[in-house]
């Protein structure tokens, strides 16, 4: 019940396209849903986060969509750029953060 599922495992998108990563959870006690971005050799960095009382949050090219009834949430990266190539982790927390397995995104020119 502590698990956070994430798909796809890897994703290749052309420059300018939309990258979509999906996540799902079971534990209804989770009350905070962050997304982290990790570049090789670096620690994960907080990208954007949402609480379950909101259905969508947008920051620049990054948007989280949240479906509380389905216990699903997703990250959309609009106008994807080669610099967005990284591993993305969805996560969920109520007292500690549980991470999904990650999605390796490659944005090709």
Partner 1 sequence: DAGVIQSPRHEVTEMGQEVTLRCKPISGHNSLFWYRQTMMRGLELLIYFNNNVPIDDSGMPEDRFSAKMPNASFSTLKIQPSEPRDSAVYFCASSPGQAGGYTFGSGTRLTVV
* Interacting residue ranges for partner 1, rule: CB under 8 A: 31-32, 34, 41-46, 49, 89, 93-102
Question: CB 22 → partner 1: shortest distance, Å?
Answer: 16
* Residue pair 21/12 in contact by the 8 Å Cβ criterion: no
CB of 95 to partner 1, least distance (A): 5
Residue 106, helix vs strand vs coil: strand
Residue with smaller CB distance to partner 1, 43 or 60: 43
Nearer to partner 1, 17 or 57 (CB): 57
What sign has the CA pseudo-torsion 35, 39, 41, 47?
negative
CB nearer partner 1, residue 11 or residue 97: 97
Whole-angstrom distance, CA of residue 97 vs CA of residue 109? 34
């Amino acid at each position: 019940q502590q698990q956070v599922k994430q798909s796809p495992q890897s994703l290749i998108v052309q420059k300018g396209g939309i990258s979509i990563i999906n996540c799902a959870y079971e534990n209804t006690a989770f009350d905070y849903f962050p997304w982290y971005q990790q570049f090789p050799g670096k620690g994960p960095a907080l990208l954007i986060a949402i609480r379950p009382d909101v259905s969508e949050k947008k920051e620049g090219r990054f948007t989280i969509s949240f479906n509380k009834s389905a216990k699903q949430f997703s990250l959309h990266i609009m106008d994807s750029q080669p610099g967005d190539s990284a591993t993305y982790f969805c996560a969920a927390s109520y007292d500690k953060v549980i991470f999904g397995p990650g999605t390796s995104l490659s944005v090709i020119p």
